[in-house]
Amino acid sequence: MKIVIANDHAAPELKFEIKEYIESLGHEVINIGTDSKESCHYPEYGEKAARMVAAGEVDFGVLICGTGVGISLAANKVKGIRCGVCSDTATARLIRQHNNANMIAFGARIVGSELAKDIVKSFLEAEFEGGGRHQTRIDMISAIENKN
């Protein structure tokens, strides 16, 4: 699969570690930065990655900031994006199985690198359970988006 990865200044080191790990799982990773610890604005990176996912240029997106929250909030403003913040592997699996999330976020100041790898692996290996009540609820989320 093709994965975009983006982060702010809180996470370049963890980003490189996660990028390498995702590649070791056999996926292609597109890194759109930042690669620096110099202060930057996470909405720019969250939006850019989200637009690539929404346009179908990549299959999934991985976002990292200090908490994972700010960058996920920005990504979720892009139509068609369902990004969940995860600090555990069960949530990472369930946001794929139930919410058909197309992006995942986590915090470099919250989770260690080994847990972050397990979180990403759980997300990438899980599949949407499809149809039924889960699809109904996703359609309801899209309907909210379409009211804006």
Binding residues: 8-9, 66-70, 99, 109, 133, 137
Asked if residue 6 lies in contact with residue 63, where contact means CB atoms within 8 angstroms, the answer is yes
Using the rule CB under 6 A, give the single segment among 23-31, 65-73, 77-85, 136-144 that binds ligand RB5: 65-73
Phi first, then psi, for residue 84 (nearest 5°) are -115, 140
Alpha carbons 123 and 87: distance in angstroms, whole number: 12
Q: Tell whether residue 43 is a contact of ligand RB5 (CB under 6 A).
A: no
Q: Tell whether residue 62 is a contact of ligand RB5 (CB under 6 A).
A: no
* Nearest-approach distance from CB 47 to ligand RB5, in angstroms: 14
Residue count, binding to ligand RB5 (CB under 6 A): 8
DSSP E strands, 28-92: 28-31, 60-65, 83-85
CA 54 to chain centroid, in Å, comes to 12
Binding site for ligand RB5 (CB under 6 A): 8, 10, 42, 65-67, 69-70
